[in-house]
Each structure stands twice: as structure tokens, then as C-alpha cells.
Amino acid sequence: MSQIAPGRAARAALLALTLLPLHACDRHGSRVVSPSGVVWNRITPPGASEADWPDWRGDSIAFQVRVQGLDRIAVALEDGSGLEIEPESPTAGARNPRWVREGLLIYSSDLAGSEDLWYLDVGTGGARRLAAFPGMEWTPAPRPGSPGIVYVEGTDPDSGRLVLIPDTTAVPLGKIYLTPGSLGAGEPDWNPAGDQICFTVRGPNATSQIWRLSLTDTLPIQLTVAPSGNPSGGPQVDRSPKWSPDGSGILMSSNRGGLWGVWILSPLGEARGLTVIAQDVPGAELRHPTWSPDGKRIMASTNRSGDRALWTLSNLGL
């Protein structure tokens, strides 16, 4: 694994003092087999507080944790070993990491006083700001095969405008607005070809749906719909879309059926295909699922063991 440089274990020393043995979920320890046959395996220890927003590249993962009340970026091997917390200012947060390429992350931080996009060199720990545009910038998603970036602009990372930086190497940087502010978009992700984006949109009555747009026409298309009721008694929420590595489906988390779970959605809309992969235990909230590079496993953040941690789901039958 080349994303995490050797000799940086000292950075994780403070965290190591807080790590405790994993709580047993059954007689297999942190390994849980759901009734459907899906295997749930916890990979982050309790010391990695509020583990969330995982992104998987090669045999490495990057994700968000909480340290002394502030968001931080963490990196580890895909099984959770080699965990390191990246350094950050004691007064600033670092959020929503995504791999740009091997050894390089992009994320958002308020280090410079407003929420901006930053690059992080994992090998050296060095950070540099991508841009200083007016407004707040959240949840960046690098464009596959291109230096482009899409992100959310606005005061609310889950309900803003999608913005495209078509070329992050250009001087000066340019940006293109892809959605109107009135739509309330969040959580963008690219298809493997880099010509379409899936994202979430907040609907009426606290619902949330999955949408898609193509760069050829930039016309947003709604993919999922909110029914009049939900067995849970609350609003239906479809969120956190991630395109599959082969482009055939969109992974999402949803509370359909009264339990949070992971679903695969057709890029043409739920009428053309919507399949539940696994549902979490009652009372748990699952969010931000992501694919393994080969599309055979899923990683998600859930509080099914009491605290929020990252779990891998395998034996999916995909």
C-alpha cells in the first residue's frame, strides 16, 4: 500500500492511547452475519470516534473522524489497520475526504476562515488550498480521468448549488454552475466515464431523493420518489449516492421499509431498477456507503454497535 507513508506512526500515537478492544457483536466479535447472508465486519475501533464519509481506493481508505470535538481526516488500510489521523490546526475542521489519485486527497476545511477546498499530500502531511472563491465549498468529488472537481457551494453542504471546476490546473481557475440554488443539491458523485453526476435533493416534508444530470445538457433528472408514507412513521430519505465502478448502478442509503439500509438504484430511475442489498438493525442509522474498487464489497458508516464506526459488507451476491 503506497498511500500511507511508512514512518508516520508517531502521528497516530495520541490516538493509540484511546483505542479499546472492539465490542463483541456476536460470538464472532466484530463480524456479524445478517439474516440475508450479508457479512458485516467492523473495521474501525472505538477510538476512531464518529467514523464517517469513507472513500476507498486500492487497498486504502480515507474517512472523517472526530478528535476533541473537531472533524479530522483519517487514513488506513481497507481492514482498518495502520490508522493515522492527519494533522490539522487545533481550531479548524477537516471534512469529506476523497481520493484524487494515489497519495493525494481533496477535502473541505475552514482552516483559512471559510469553508474551502484543500489538497492533502498523505505522504508528507502537507496541505494547500485549491481556491479562494467567495462562498463556502463542501463535499468535493474529483472527476474520473480529468483534473475537474464538482462540489457543493452554499451555507448548507446538503442543500446548495453544484459547481464544476472543469480544470484544476488552469490559471486562473474557472467554475460552472450546474444546478440552481433553489434545487438544494448535495453529496455529488461521478459516473466512471466522468460525464454524469448523481446527487441528493431535499424534498418537501424533510424527504430526500436521488437525482442525476449529464454534462451534455445539465438538465437535472429525478431518479427516486418520495411516497406519501413510510413504515418508520417519518419521512423517506434516499441519500449518499455513489456510482458503481462499472457504471451500471448507483449505491445509496435509505430508510425505506422502516430500517436504514443500502440499495442499488438504476441510473435510469427507480422504475427501471431498485434493489435492497442489506438493511441495518433496528435503531441504527446507516449513511455514506461506498464501493470497493472491484465493486464486490461495500463500506458504510453506521452506529449499529452503539458508536458510529465503519463497517464492510461482503457476501453481497453482486
For the chain, the domains span 9-314
The torsion angles phi and psi of 294, rounded to 5 degrees, stand at -90, 0
Rounded Cα gap, residues 52 and 259, in angstroms: 19
Q: Confidence class of residue 241 from pLDDT cuts 50, 70 and 90? A: very high
pLDDT digits (tens, 9 = 90+) for 114-130: 999 999 999 999 999 99
**Burial state string for 95-121 with b = 16 or more CB within 10 A and e = fewer than 16:** bbbbbbeebebbbbbbbeeebbbbbbe
% residues pLDDT > 70 (the chain): 87
Of 205 and 170, the structure prediction assigns the larger pLDDT to: 170
DSSP per-residue letters across the chain: --SS-TT-GGGGHHHHTT--PPPPSBTTBTEEE-TTSPEEEE-S-TTSTT-EEEEEETTEEEEEEEETTEEEEEEEETTS-S-EEPP--TT--EEEEEEEETTEEEEEE-TTSS-EEEEEETTT--EEE----SS-EEEEEEPTTSS-EEEEESSSTTSBEEEEES-TTSSS---EE-S-GGG-EEEEEE-TTSSEEEEEEE-GGG-EEEEEEETTT---EE-----S--TTSS--BEEEEEE-TTSS-EEEEE-GGGS-EEEEE-TT-GGG-EEEEEE--TT--EEEEEE-TTSS-EEEEE-TTSS-EEEEEE----
Q: In what order do the strands lie in the sheet with 84-85?
A: 52-57, 60-67, 70-77, 84-85
Rounded Cα gap, residues 191 and 213, in angstroms: 10
Query: What is residue 311's predicted lDDT score, i.e. its pLDDT?
Result: 98
Q: Quick check: 105 and 73 in contact, CB under 8 A?
A: yes
Residue 7 has pLDDT above 60, yes or no: no
- Domain spanning 9-314: CATH 2.120.10.30: yes
Query: What is residue 10's predicted lDDT score, i.e. its pLDDT?
Result: 37
Query: What is residue 247's predicted lDDT score, i.e. its pLDDT?
Result: 96
Query: What is residue 205's predicted lDDT score, i.e. its pLDDT?
Result: 86
Of 299 and 232, the structure prediction assigns the larger pLDDT to: 299
Q: If you average pLDDT over residues 206-218, what whole number do you get?
A: 94
pLDDT digits (tens, 9 = 90+) for 67-116: 999 999 999 999 999 999 998 888 999 999 999 999 999 999 999 999 99
Residue 33 has pLDDT above 90, yes or no: no
Label residue 230 exposed, middle or buried (CB < 10 Å: 0-12, 13-18, 19+): middle
Q: Quick check: 201 and 252 in contact, CB under 8 A?
A: no
Residue 61 has pLDDT above 70, yes or no: yes
Mean per-residue pLDDT over the chain, rounded: 88
Taken in order 213, 205, 304, 54, the sign of the CA dihedral is: positive
Rounded Cα gap, residues 38 and 233, in angstroms: 27
Beta-bridge mates of residue 116: 109
* Amino acid identity for residue 31 in this structure: R
Q: Confidence class of residue 41 from pLDDT cuts 50, 70 and 90? A: very high
Query: What is residue 228's predicted lDDT score, i.e. its pLDDT?
Result: 61
Query: What is residue 99's predicted lDDT score, i.e. its pLDDT?
Result: 98
Rounded Cα gap, residues 307 and 46, in angstroms: 7
